[in-house]
Amino acid sequence: MTEDRDRSSVAGRPSSVKSKEYPMSSPRLDEIISRLEKGARKTNEILSALTPEQWQRVVYDDPLVWTVRDLLAHFVSAEDSLLKLAQNIATGGAGLPEDFDYDAFNAAEQTRLRNQSPQQLLTALNAARQETVNWARALDDAQLDRIGMHPVLGEISLETMLVSIYGHQLFHMREAQEKL
């Protein structure tokens, strides 16, 4: 197995090693990290200020009804799932299979997270974003160029996938703010 396809390491370190130091950096990676951190701050700022009534406001009604709280559950699910997908691509994997059922996945995730309060979900989202940022800090430019299958965008680079995590939340937050 070539180093490029080695599934046991990220940026040359064994996957079991959790380093607080991130010696590798590039302008591309710095921009990704900046966006992810900025998006997390803004999302947290807005959602932390919501009233109980605002959490129940409907943001989407087709194909399923999603409230602001449901949207937050979607963020948690997406952050966790897209990180796993990104990790797969970074280590040479193909990403998602082409027959991935996005709507079925989202419905199942809403069911899985239905008993979590908004505060529990917000805590989970913040932890998940920090995990994404910490993992991304260890990437190198060669990994950012790897191509894999995204659930909505199709075949894209890992760099684009990481930026799409930020963009995904930004898109939905803009729509949610119109309902608040």
Cα of 120 vs its chain's centroid, Å = 17
The pLDDT tens digits for 122-134 are 999 999 999 999 9
The pLDDT of residue 147: 98
The pLDDT of residue 163: 96
What would the mean pLDDT of 107-120 be, rounded to a whole number? 96
Other C-beta atoms lying within 10 Å of the C-beta of residue 92: 16
Residue 34 has phi, psi (to 5 degrees) of: -60, -45
pLDDT band at 21 (very low <50, low <70, confident <90, very high): low
**Element spanning 73, H or E:** helix 68-90
The pLDDT tens digits for 43-56 are 999 999 999 999 99
The answer to whether 48 and 179 have CB atoms below 8 angstroms apart is: no
The pLDDT of residue 98: 79
What would the mean pLDDT of 79-94 be, rounded to a whole number? 96
DSSP state of 136: H
Q: Which domains does the chain have, with CATH numbers?
A: 45-179 (1.20.120.450)
Both tokens assigned to 169? 């939340």
* Beta strands at 147-150 and 154-157: parallel, antiparallel or unpaired: antiparallel
**Element spanning 82, H or E:** helix 68-90
The pLDDT of residue 24: 61
The pLDDT of residue 167: 95
Count of alpha carbons within 13 Å of 167, Cβ hemisphere only? 9
pLDDT band at 102 (very low <50, low <70, confident <90, very high): confident
Strand partners, 98: none
| Strands of the chain, DSSP E | 9-10, 13-14, 58-60, 66-67, 147-150, 154-157
What would the mean pLDDT of 160-173 be, rounded to a whole number? 96
What would the mean pLDDT of 70-98 be, rounded to a whole number? 96
Average of per-residue pLDDT values in the chain: 88
Q: pTM for the whole thing?
A: 0.84
Q: Which of 95, 87, 80 is nearest to 147 (CA)?
A: 95
Q: Which of 4-13, 45-54, 87-96, 100-109 has the lowest mean pLDDT?
A: 4-13
